[in-house]
Structures are given as C-alpha cells and as structure tokens.
Structure 1
Amino acid sequence: MTTDPAGPAAPPAVDPPLAGVRILDLTHMLAGPYATMLLADLGAEIIKVEPPGGEFIRGAGPTFGDGEEAFGGYFHSVNRNKRSLPLNLRDPEGRRIFLEFVDSADAVIENFRVGIMESLALDWEVLHARNPRLVYGCIRGFGDPRTGMSPYVNWPAYDVVAQAMGGFMHVNGFPEREPVKSGIGIGDLFPAALLDIGVLSAILQARATGQGRLVDVGMYDAMISLAERNAYQHSITGEVPGRIGNSHPLFAPFGLFEAKDGWVTIAAPSNREWTVFASLIGHPELIDDPRSSQPTARHENIEFVNDVIQEWTRTRTKAEIVNELGGRVPVGPVQTARDIAADPHVAIRQMLVEVEQPGTGHVVSIAGTPIRFSPASSVGIRRAPLLGEDTVSLLAEIGIDQQAVQGLVASGIVATTADATSAATHA
C-alpha cells in the first residue's frame, strides 16, 4: 500500500458562513470599517454607503505616489471585500434609494456621533419601522443613549480617548514614565470585534423571531472590558494597578528579555515550564532554589529571576534563543513588519495577502483574516472598491437603469467611476 507524500487532498471549499447576509455599511475611519470588513471576510455582502466625494480615509496614506492618492493604504486595509455605493443621504432621493436597500438588508452598521442618523431621518426607530427584522449596529465613543444615557453621550471620541479613559493607558508603560498608548488602534479594533459578536447574535435571533434589535458598543465600555484585570485587582486589594513595563503583575518569568540583536519574550510561570526552562538555560539548581522553586517565590524575587535569564539571553541572538527554547517553553522574538513578512508561518496561514493598487503597476500587502474554517470557505480577498465602482450594478438591483443613474450623478445624489459606467454601457 502506498501513500500520497503530499497527504490527503483538502476537501473542496464551501460557501462562507455569512453567505446570503446583506449589510449596509455607513461606517468611516477605523472602528466601523474594521467591523464590517471582518463580516465581509466571512462572506457577508457589505454595501459601503459613503458620501459622493468618498469617506475621509480614502485619502489617508501611505501611497506609492503614482497619482492614486485617493486610494491609500489605510482605506485598502479595512475596506476589502466590499461594494461601493456613494450616496447623498441628505437628499430626499438619496434617502429613498437607501431605504429601498434597507428592505433587503439584514443589518445596518454605523459609527457616527449621537444624533447624526436622527438628522438624516434614518435612525433606529425609522429603519426598524421600515424593516422590523433589521439589526442596527452602532459604535460610539460613549454608547448610544437608548442603551444608557452617559454624561459624555455627546462627546466625540477617538481611539486614544478610549484607551485613556478605559484604563488601558494607565497600566501600559513603565512606572517612572508617562502612560503609553498602544501602537495600534485597539480603542477602535476591540469595539469593532465586540460589535460583530452582537450583530451576528442579533441576526441569528431576528431570523428566528422576525424582530431585529439595536446593538450598541461604546468604545469607552469596550476598553474597560479589555482591561478587565484592573477591575478585580482594585476591588480585591483596594489598590490602583499601575505600570509595570514588560513584567506581569502575578507571574514570573513572563516578559521581555534582551538578545544580542534585539528582544525576545519568554514566559515560564508554571512549575512544569520553569523546570524545563531552568534546565535548558543551564541552571537546574534554580528548580529547588527557595527564591525560584515556586510561582509565588519567583514573582517575589522577580529581579533575581530576570537577571539570571537576562545573563543567558544577552549572549545569544534571537534566532539562537528561539532555536533552543522553541517548542519547549513559550518563547517568541519581537518582530518587525519585515520579520513578519518573511515568516513561513505567515505564508502558510496566508496572513499577508496581495491586492492590486488600482491605476498603478503595484500590489499592496494587507493583513489577511485570522478566522479560518475547515472545510475552507470559498470567499477570497478582493481589494477595497473604487469610489462608485458598484453604483451601476447595485442601483440596477432596485430598478434604476443606466439613463436614470446618469441623472442621479448629474444631481450629485450618487457617484460612479468611469470604468463602472463604461462597463455597464457596453455590457
């Protein structure tokens, strides 16, 4: 009997889990677009409704400088797999068109300030009356007043505000230095992920009951949830958790250590891990040393423990450390974007994907989706849409023909790309 050296064939791809789900995306900046991007990656049809001139981040860089400044990396990264419908919602005809799409939608998602959707007469109550099974998802700095009237309800907020107020920044950084925000926008990204959980839960319920719900995530609330350790530590001890650099408030070793050519992270807090680790670094005596034999002792004597480890790591490169410890105790190098691009894990797991940069000869690498299924889903990753790229085909779905589209364009109610219009004309 012979075996295939390549292993068994992969099962054929199947429809993605959100195939058949239609979501109207009124989001902008990072939090909202990231939320709808995740749903698009799972197979939902996302119709990105933006102003006829495009949303703000379309022009945010970086770009290759080849004249495509209205389509930068920021927009590329969080608007993939979407269809573009620029629509003037302040015009009655624009609102009428939007409401026709509401009739066939499973959800509307927006991240405007409180009162914006009311000013457009497109708020939750209006849309729910029009389509009772519609789910309405929103991200706001301090939540929607319908789920709890915050004293800050009308305050604008960005990621950095949520990080600061939610307690994350106070514990991030070093004791003798100022608080430090995260290098990535977790004050946007974590609320986005939470909103998706809520929206999908509500869609599931709506399909069973015929009744949609409003789903609200406050960025401030989300960051309190993310920094959950702050709450119980303060409640039990009465103390305010502070900044501890790259250490852990409870465990040791658990942190960052210097190598000859950079930094590595090592974590061996349990006795099982510590026994293996101490032997690997040539210090088996530490297994029975009263200063390091138990988890509590290791944390109480963290400077002693870290000094021993640091003496070992400083004589080795990152690669040497990982080669000696990898697979035996938790270890990982601190990697740059260039390191990540060269990592075989990233290639195998397709965590960087290339998409075209329209109008240039370039391609752009963007982060892939970390949510995987087996059998694999058939959805791929398409570049973010050009402004108005899908206007003609989308409006055709609700009975608006090419001639009428041209009139809407002339009136400033919708926008199209020349390519999309030309393709429709010659179809």
Structure 2
Amino acid sequence: MQDPTPTLAALPPGALSGVTVLDLSRVLAGPWCTQTLADLGANVIKVERPDSGDDTRAWGPPYLKTPGGEDSSEAAYFLGANRNKRSITVDIAHPEGQALIRRLVLQADVLVENFKVGDLARYGLDAQALLALKPGLVVCSITGFGQTGPYRDRAGYDYAIQGMGGLMSVTGERDDLPGGGPQKVGVAVADLFTGLYSTVAILAALRHRDLTGQGQVIDMALLDTQVAMLANLGSNYLCTGKAPGRMGNAHANIVPYQVFESSDGHLILAVGNDKQFAKFCEIAGHPEWATDPRFLRNADRVHHRAELVPLIAEVLRRQPRQHWLGQLEAAKVPCGAINNLDEVFADPQVQARGMTVPMAHPLSDRLQVVANPIKLSATPVQYRRPPPLLGQHTEELLSEAGLSPAEVQALRDQGVIG
C-alpha cells in the first residue's frame, strides 16, 4: 500500500517546529518522550536496529488489522508510542553505522537514548563524545537507575521499579482483606512519568541552549521518577517517619471515599466534606446518618469507618449505578463511574474532547490512536505521520543528510542499514 502521509508543507508550524530529535530509544519511556516532542512539532528521527527494530514492534497480539481483517505486522503497543516519527535502520555496531549516527547528530538538536550505562561509549557515541562533536546538543539518557549510584549497571523495568520505588506498597487491598497484597498499576506509570519528566527536562535544556548556545546531558532514571511521584505519600512519610500502607479503594483520611457496588456495577463515592455527606445521606434515604454522633464530622467517620461503610454499601447495592450517579451529580456530591474501555471511548465528554484520532497507515485504513491531551490555542498538536514501518524513511533521511543513492546502496550492501 502506498504511504498515505499527507503533504506536510501545507501544515502550520508546530510549537517545536525546527527542532530535530534523534531518537535512539526503544520500548516505552523514551518513545513516549519523543512522541510528545513529535506531537508538538519536532522532527523526530527514530533510529532502529535492522531486521527487528524497536522491541515493541513484536509485543503482540493485538496487532493492527489490515483492510481484509487480518493481523498486520504492526503491534498495537508500538503504534501507541511512535506516531509523528520517521524510521531509519542503522547498525551502530558497524563503524559505518557509528559514522552515520554522528552525521545525523550534526543535524540534530536533541538525542534521546535508553541504552545501559556505558553501552554507547563502546561505539564512541556516548554523551561526552557527542557534545565534543556538537557542543549545543541536548543529550537525554533514560535508564532504570541513572548514571550514578550502586544500581547504575542494572537493567530497569517498570514493574520492578513500581515495587522498588514504593508504589506497590500503597497500591492494592489491605493484607487482612480478601485479595489483599501489593498490586502494580494497570499501565506502566513509571515509564510514562519518566517519559513526561524527560520531555520537560529537554524543553528546559533547549531553552538554556537557545540562551547560551550550550548543550547539556540529562540523566533520567525510572527509580528517581517513581520516588518523586509518590507525591503527598512521600511527603507524609518524611514528615512523620511512618510508612503508609495499602488502603485498597478506600482513603486513609476521608470517609466515605471509595468504590461501592450498585445493583449493576461499581461507582466511586468521594465525599470531601461534611456538607457533601449530609447531601449524600438525603439521597441515600438516611438523613439521620448526618446527625449521628459517630458520623457527624469526617474525623468521626474515619474513626467509625467499619460501622458506616457497610451501611452505605447495603443501600447503594439496591439501585443501578446510573440511579445514584444522576442524583449525586445533581446534588454536586463527587462521584464517578468505573468505566471499561468500551465505555471510556464511547463517553460523550471523551468524544467531545477529541481523544481519539484516525490516521491513514501504510498497512491499514483502520488505525485509531489515542490523542495527545495537550490543548494549545496557537500551535495545536498535529497528527502528521502514522507510526512508521521499520526503516520506512531510511532513504529519505539519508538523502536529507546528503548521501547519494550510490552511498545509500553501499551502506545497504554492507548491512549497515536495512
């Protein structure tokens, strides 16, 4: 199928138009960072291994469906983190491949990589060597544990980082209840947060570069990010010396503030103050709860959680979810549905906000991507290119770098490019 990439010259410039990013990362944290930069208008060149490419190209099923309904070669995982990029295949273990990366660096503003600590130095492509080649370059290195410290040589994976960084100690049901024990979050939040923090760091470094001409090295670690994103729980521990435990879907300091079951599904009740509790009691048909000394104030409700929560659960179980949500929302009592993904993408608010985008793909006309949530008034996010096929833009990018067709063919004959 012909490449359906639209004519890009007609598109208005994005916020990061003119910024070129050389992306040597793979899997999720790095590609999430570079996809965000690409969505904002940066020219992102994704460097992949010949033959196999980014690991996530093979992380399926599910795969993108062809027009005939068959599985294509493109894993949904890869498609979720690599739009608006161009793919070039380069074997950096080959001296000619290393020379090619240096040539691309001369045209780049940013390089993002997530190799193990010291790996790129074996190829003469470490941060210091690249900064010597181009002093204005911003190099962002993303690893599990950072460039320093006793764990620097370890491989880092999101699941392990969620455990090591404390998140799983506060996620999941209490140990004394059925199903109790540590739980990971359902998506790779350590990877995703690290990708976003990396984006912020790159933008700050580009601002510094624009002011001074000086590039720099950004050292991002999944473990650092996971510790930072403990947020108020980390602050609570540092102030008290007491480690918080798992509360399941309940809240340590507010009652009722948890998941309850209705007659046809679950809902969230998130009462934030005593006035909201009184309104809830009216809706529940038990106004006397609001004047009961055990439940009068939030502190009382926290102390008598074991008595109040079963009473609420018994009432909410009697009616369907929408019965309660409609009344609670009308009374401005905080609440919410627990939607599966069918319901999420069918939700009128999600649709009104344009949170899915169709994109023409070389292998399918069925591609839908989750939209970028950033809404900019003057330089909106653009969906210029579908996630690339492996090496799809190799010849195009090498031509832009000044190589002749004969030089490109010579590199292909040597196995330097795919």
Q: Do both share a fold (TM > 0.5)? A: yes
Residues 1:320 and 2:319 aligned together = no
d(CA) in 2 for partners of 1:126, 1:272: 63
Could you tell me which residue of structure 2 aligns to residue 27 of structure 1?
25
Could you tell me which residue of structure 1 aligns to residue 244 of structure 2?
241
Root-mean-square deviation (CA), in Å?
Answer: 2.0
d(CA) in 2 for partners of 1:357, 1:260: 43
Give the superposition deviation at 1:355: 3.0
Could you tell me which residue of structure 1 aligns to residue 181 of structure 2?
178
Give the superposition deviation at 1:126: 0.7
d(CA) in 2 for partners of 1:213, 1:290: 61
- Contact 2:172/2:248, CA 8 A, preserved across alignment: yes
* Larger RCO of the pair (alpha carbons < 8 Å, separation 6+): 2
- Aligned to 2:117, what secondary structure does the other structure show? coil
Amino acid at match of 1:162: I
TM-score by length of 2: 0.90
Q: Please point out which of 113, 123, 143 is paired with 1:140.
A: 143
Could you tell me which residue of structure 2 aligns to residue 252 of structure 1?
255
Greater shift in the superposed pair: 65-74 or 93-102:
65-74
Give the superposition deviation at 1:252: 1.8
Distance 1:198 1:388, change over 3 A: same
Could you tell me which residue of structure 2 aligns to residue 63 of structure 1?
63
Q: Please point out which of 330, 336, 347 is paired with 1:332.
A: 336
- Contact 2:24/2:111, CA 8 A, preserved across alignment: yes
d(CA) in 2 for partners of 1:384, 1:28: 13
Q: Please point out which of 198, 203, 207 is paired with 1:204.
A: 207
d(CA) in 1 for partners of 2:396, 2:239: 59
Greater shift in the superposed pair: 121-130 or 316-325:
316-325
Summarize the alignment of residues 28-427 of structure 1 with structure 2, pairs less than 5 Å apart. Answer: 28-53=26-51, 54-61=53-60, 62-63=62-63, 69-145=72-148, 150-176=149-175, 177-326=180-329, 328-360=332-364, 362-375=365-378, 377=380, 379-380=382-383, 382-415=385-418
Give the superposition deviation at 1:292: 2.3
Could you tell me which residue of structure 2 aligns to residue 8 of structure 1?
none
Structure 2 stretches of 5 or more lacking a match?
A: 1-10
TM-score by length of 1: 0.88
- Aligned to 1:108, what secondary structure does the other structure show? strand
- Aligned to 2:63, what secondary structure does the other structure show? coil
d(CA) in 1 for partners of 2:159, 2:209: 34
- Aligned to 1:257, what secondary structure does the other structure show? strand
Amino acid at match of 1:121: G
Distance 1:65 1:364, change over 3 A: closer
Give the superposition deviation at 1:27: 0.6
- Contact 1:68/1:359, CA 8 A, preserved across alignment: no
Kindly provide the CA deviation profile for residues 199-254 of structure 1, in whole angstroms up to 9, marking residues without a partner as x. Answer: 11111111111111111121111111112344333334333211111111112221
Could you tell me which residue of structure 2 aligns to residue 10 of structure 1?
none
d(CA) in 1 for partners of 2:49, 2:150: 30
Amino-acid identity (%) = 34
d(CA) in 1 for partners of 2:250, 2:403: 61
Give the superposition deviation at 1:263: 0.9
Kindly provide the CA deviation profile for residues 121-174 of structure 1, in whole angstroms up to 9, marking residues without a partner as x. Answer: 1111011111111111121111112xxxx1111111110110000000111111
Distance 1:293 1:381, change over 3 A: farther
Give the superposition deviation at 1:33: 0.9
Amino acid at match of 1:99: R
- Contact 1:21/1:44, CA 8 A, preserved across alignment: yes
- Contact 1:23/1:44, CA 8 A, preserved across alignment: yes
d(CA) in 1 for partners of 2:20, 2:315: 55
Give the superposition deviation at 1:364: 2.9
Greater shift in the superposed pair: 296-305 or 117-126:
296-305
d(CA) in 2 for partners of 1:215, 1:358: 35
- Contact 1:20/1:45, CA 8 A, preserved across alignment: yes
Amino acid at match of 1:267: A
